[in-house]
Structure 1
């Protein structure tokens, strides 16, 4: 039983009850309760505050943390997932006191320096292998040894810009290294989000914890990357595999937080041994690439020829010393478990010291003595791949020898004996535990802590915190971010008050700039299509609302009676739109349900909203949290397909609610987004789509013999009823309606207005020509603008409307050809190279 010291107060009794109900696992080290069964002192301030919250307030705080994660869009994917999963935040932080953290930091600092030294030797003089201190097979057996990089010294001389180690307490209570992360370590961004969510949910508690801040580490990391570049104001890119990667949210989040340019392989190209970003203003040099892709995929010319994630020629640019790549290509070599078994000896040889933080005992079976010992100890070891995941020939998971039957054990033993170089044996150690909140009480759960370090001119700096993953299973030996795993904030508790820290530079170090920015072509493409999908969603919603409004309380569904033809045309438009199948258009109630909520019709409002959300996910670093949340709420609103048919009144209400959300998204774009190039492409996309849609509406409802009900519906569809009624005191008439819909430059819903705005946008975008001649998109829009201005409403017929519609389509194609990546990345931008 854990000792208690009641003083009689209610809050203390709550704390004592919380402590006494906690039951550490027998024989397993725990972060909260020490070996003597007493609570560790540095946990008590947090738990004292926490226990003072009643159940309702506690649940409210948990909900605040979850809401922050949800509203911010924090998510991840397990391997093979299509849809992102919400981030699983644990509501109890992992607390480590300053003295113990100092020991951890010293061990990580030593290990990072050791691994950097080994990498420099393997890719440099190769003395460790030559002297027999490191077996050649333990190095060459790894696919992460990149032979094209042998003999190449990275710009700045640094292989590791970000090192991480997964650690846990061993049975003796000491911290042990479970694995090294030198390829492209993930988790630092999630650690930062965990801190933000928890500190906002528990501001009073965190305000008194003296938890070390994380911002200074990220500032050091950013400065380190910039310092290795050859220019004073370098362009730093974060190279991501793309939105389907497991940790894409973190890539987008860190790019925005650190001020880096988020790029994919297709955004980059090599010219003259230099790497450039394809932007709407031509090629702009990339000085530093922080890669979040495996090195093998970084260059399909010299590395993995099947890769579509990398940059052809990147290795040549590295070899020429023209670009900084962090971590250096080939640094993933040190993640091989085979090398872990040699690090204790190498540390002694290279530094004269023993490892301050030992790694888990490892036997590489490529040496006879270690192989024989691993086979002898098989019942006490886990067998793994020496150079990858799983066990060669036995699946993707480690094999615990004690769980094997005689036949399987004999098969595994024979495989190790035949080709021991592919296998390692590692000690089976149960992970230590930390408290989590479960069913109204604290319970112990196993965890792994990932600690990060970055080099500085004076040594390594360790992040004062980390990325903690907690299993939901009491007995866990390995944890990844799969189902049932949580992540906790990691607080390093100082004995002194901790000052505030920000990544914002001081104002005397900031140069004032008012620039459009070098927008990557891929980002421009996605912003353009985000605008188009949002406008398509709005158009479908307006048709549905117009249709439901006209059939409420009227018997016009069969096309008879006043307005019957108008209803038929609205239904036909939904079919043409791809929002409704022809067989679903027999009755308005079925058609309206499909048009609003169908998940299978590509033109339904629900499908279009999901496409907008998907497109927005590709450019998370360029959208505000408010915009992301509004688009998510639109998807949720339209995703409730609770019935196959809706009453007209229900459909009207749902369409109206969804249109309010679309209006809010549009309002944010107009009022809160800087008038830089990204905003212009978002708005151009909306203007193109609105112009096309308006032409189609006019062609359907403003024919020569159309009834007044058709013209009235057209004014509804383009939201111009009030404007028309205030201008014309008489009823609807064909010429005035056509003029207002197509030619009126003062009506923000008219085609003329859309064309004028696009003309302004295209004129403001950077030009690749230096002869003063307008580029094709600008020429086309100016011609169309002049033609519309010259048309008289009396002469406006369906043929002219079709002509305008076609020219808008041609303008869209010209914009794509000029500004976006086309085909096999054969954009004409590639011939324009700038040094900016």
Structure 2
């Protein structure tokens, strides 16, 4: 692979001396064997797959249109086991402290009384909700799902950039990325020992069910609707968990309980995984003009008859000004030193900090504390004098609403640019997803976001960013000499709740090779023979993928009864002969699993 790592930024794949890091050696060898032309051809297949599956996001206020396919770069970001253990421990520590902080400030507020965090800072946050003060959610859990953004500085140290505790998004792209990679680049995973991610939906469903006020309660996903930027994710997660996707108009309050309208009559709702902001949840408690929520919901919540994830009022803990005090929270509640450090932060409400911010604006990154998605930012070194002057007027007018941080040189990663057909360094960050049950569960890896605009430090999709598949290995590298990798057992053959079936090592969801041949260990062959056979099998799989975009011929009536026991020749060989697919999460409108819908999309080009 032709690539210049440079020396200014920490490079994820190569050392400062230009040597490949051990945990990347297997992928680098694979890319060299594959070649740029074949890599680019498969990259184009990924774009087609994402379009057919509707993997999109929305950019508001864009004259070119709002609906876009989420950009994806196939060169994976790889994290070795020991490195991930450090990140995992730091995230677990952090979410425990954040949950303790929320539980405290909505009750006795001891951390404020002890002067660890200024009370003014908390009570002036637009996300502090007095309406739920004194309300204790089920199990005292406020932060069910957390997305914490991490970066690596020039020395390679992981730093926390911000916490997302209201409605962290992006996990659906993480899962879709892995699914697509195992299909289009199956040989890349061979012997790598990549930990699976597709169990996330099952773990999320377990967590939500565990906070239900009733045994065997009903869980729903509440969405603002199809025009929301993350609607694909709302639908994806509901389908994967096998629960209903609802809008506010589908729910109502009666007799002190929340009910869902169904064709069979009303059904009580016990847990709401809401993807609607606090302001719009209940027009009787918050914004009177909201039609996205459920009137009366807050009162039912106060009575303990419905659980809401994440809890109302969690946004105060991801206020970008409150973020600066998370290390103090860790020391106060856990009596521990932070495992993961913050980026140094200047607070506009602090007079000394404000003076520093105003005097050094060309060297700092400014952020509005209530904004997200890359909006409300000013990157001083990249801004003009006029832009800085205009921005500072806003800061002076309302300093509480702004913070500033030094420019951190985000780590870079080899990224493929189709316009030049070359691999170039692009800046990345990482958003792991934390499920805060007992115990805390973290998806191995997370969503790696990449700044696809050359030279940009902004990774947000709304600002031209994309994503990468993130691998967490079960070792520190190089690649394992064993046969079948853990990923192929988890992400392809079916983590619990995703797809319970047995597949050939080389099937990957499209095409197949003979089962007995695929299961023969590479150790019985010479390295040259093994690589040649791997390439042949992979090419056969990709050919099957390309052919699968033509609609299959109709199945004769007398053959339908045999479909659960034999592979359809047009279906890409998704399961071994003699085995039937166990039923996955049910999609309420059609009664079929999401995986089956993906298969239909792939066979019909996304229509019908």
**TM-score, normalized by length of structure 1?**
0.56
Q: Distance in 2 between matches of 1:505 and 1:626?
A: 14
* 1:485 paired to 2:465: yes
Which of 488, 500, 504 is matched with 2:497 structurally? 504
Residue in 2 aligned with 1:472?
452
Which of 167, 170, 189 is matched with 2:172 structurally? 189
- Cα distance 1:474–1:176, how it changes in 2: closer, same or farther (>3 A)? farther
Q: Does the CA-based 8 Å contact 1:226-1:236 persist in structure 2?
A: yes
Q: Distance in 1 between matches of 2:593 and 2:231?
A: 9
CA drift of 1:481 comes to 1.1
Q: Does the CA-based 8 Å contact 2:60-2:66 persist in structure 1?
A: no
Residue in 2 aligned with 1:431?
410
Residue in 2 aligned with 1:446?
427
Written as runs of structure 1 = structure 2, the 5 A alignment for 1:747-786 is: none
- Cα distance 1:42–1:243, how it changes in 2: closer, same or farther (>3 A)? same
CA drift of 1:365 comes to 1.9
CA drift of 1:407 comes to 7.4
Q: After the TM superposition, which of the residue ranges 278-287 and 435-444 deviates more from structure 2?
A: 435-444
CA drift of 1:388 comes to 3.3
Structure 2 unaligned spans of 5+: 501-588
Q: Distance in 2 between matches of 1:340 and 1:218?
A: 28
In terms of Rg, which structure is larger? Answer: 1
Q: Distance in 2 between matches of 1:214 and 1:168?
A: 21
Deviations 1:749-806 (A, max 9, x none): xxxxxxxxxxxxxxxxxxxxxxxxxxxxxxxxxxxxxxxxxxxxxxxxxxxxxxxxxx
CA drift of 1:216 comes to 3.4
Which of 14, 24, 28 is matched with 1:47 structurally? 28
CA drift of 1:633 comes to 6.3
* 1:397 paired to 2:376: yes
Q: Does the CA-based 8 Å contact 2:241-2:497 persist in structure 1?
A: no
Q: Does the CA-based 8 Å contact 2:460-2:466 persist in structure 1?
A: no
CA drift of 1:322 comes to 0.6
Residue in 2 aligned with 1:750?
none
CA drift of 1:417 comes to 5.2
Residue in 2 aligned with 1:807?
none
CA drift of 1:408 comes to 6.8
- Cα distance 1:374–1:80, how it changes in 2: closer, same or farther (>3 A)? closer
Structure with greater strand share of residues: 2
Residue in 1 aligned with 2:261?
278
Residue in 2 aligned with 1:213?
196
Q: CA RMSD in A?
A: 2.9
Written as runs of structure 1 = structure 2, the 5 A alignment for 1:714-733 is: none
CA drift of 1:74 comes to 1.6
Residue in 1 aligned with 2:288?
305
Q: Distance in 1 between matches of 2:364 and 2:144?
A: 33
Aligned to 1:133, the other structure's residue is in SS state coil
Q: After the TM superposition, which of the residue ranges 31-40 and 293-302 deviates more from structure 2?
A: 31-40
Deviations 1:419-442 (A, max 9, x none): 432221212213211111223332
Residue in 2 aligned with 1:234?
217
* 1:420 paired to 2:399: yes
Q: Distance in 2 between matches of 1:502 and 1:622?
A: 13
Deviations 1:482-506 (A, max 9, x none): 3642211111111275253522399
**TM-score, normalized by length of structure 2?**
0.77
CA drift of 1:622 comes to 11
Q: Does the CA-based 8 Å contact 1:430-1:475 persist in structure 2?
A: no
Residue in 2 aligned with 1:624?
597
Q: Distance in 1 between matches of 2:73 and 2:249?
A: 37
Q: Distance in 1 between matches of 2:370 and 2:53?
A: 37
* 1:111 paired to 2:94: yes
Q: Distance in 1 between matches of 2:346 and 2:373?
A: 16
Q: Distance in 1 between matches of 2:389 and 2:68?
A: 41
Deviations 1:151-173 (A, max 9, x none): 11112210011111111101221
Deviations 1:701-738 (A, max 9, x none): xxxxxxxxxxxxxxxxxxxxxxxxxxxxxxxxxxxxxx
Which of 58, 74, 86 is matched with 2:39 structurally? 58
Residue in 1 aligned with 2:53?
72
- Cα distance 1:388–1:485, how it changes in 2: closer, same or farther (>3 A)? closer
Q: Distance in 1 between matches of 2:463 and 2:108?
A: 45
Aligned to 1:251, the other structure's residue is in SS state helix
* 1:352 paired to 2:352: no
Q: Does the CA-based 8 Å contact 1:32-1:40 persist in structure 2?
A: yes
Which of 21, 25, 29 is matched with 2:10 structurally? 29
Aligned to 1:243, the other structure's residue is in SS state coil
Written as runs of structure 1 = structure 2, the 5 A alignment for 1:131-142 is: 131-142=114-125
Q: Distance in 2 between matches of 1:630 and 1:216?
A: 25
Written as runs of structure 1 = structure 2, the 5 A alignment for 1:406-805 is: 416=395, 419-438=398-417, 439-458=420-439, 460-482=440-462, 484-495=464-475, 497-498=485-486, 499-500=489-490, 502-504=495-497, 624-625=597-598, 665=608
Deviations 1:205-230 (A, max 9, x none): 21322110013343222211111113
CA drift of 1:404 comes to 6.3
Aligned to 2:273, the other structure's residue is in SS state strand
Q: Distance in 2 between matches of 1:633 and 1:215?
A: 22
Q: Distance in 2 between matches of 1:452 and 1:196?
A: 17
- Cα distance 1:76–1:411, how it changes in 2: closer, same or farther (>3 A)? closer
CA drift of 1:307 comes to 1.4
Residue in 1 aligned with 2:525?
none
Residue in 2 aligned with 1:166?
149
- Cα distance 1:623–1:417, how it changes in 2: closer, same or farther (>3 A)? same
Residue in 2 aligned with 1:261?
244
Q: Does the CA-based 8 Å contact 1:88-1:485 persist in structure 2?
A: yes
- Cα distance 1:279–1:414, how it changes in 2: closer, same or farther (>3 A)? closer
- Cα distance 1:411–1:49, how it changes in 2: closer, same or farther (>3 A)? closer
Deviations 1:651-676 (A, max 9, x none): xxxxxxxxxxxxxx5xxxxxxxxxxx
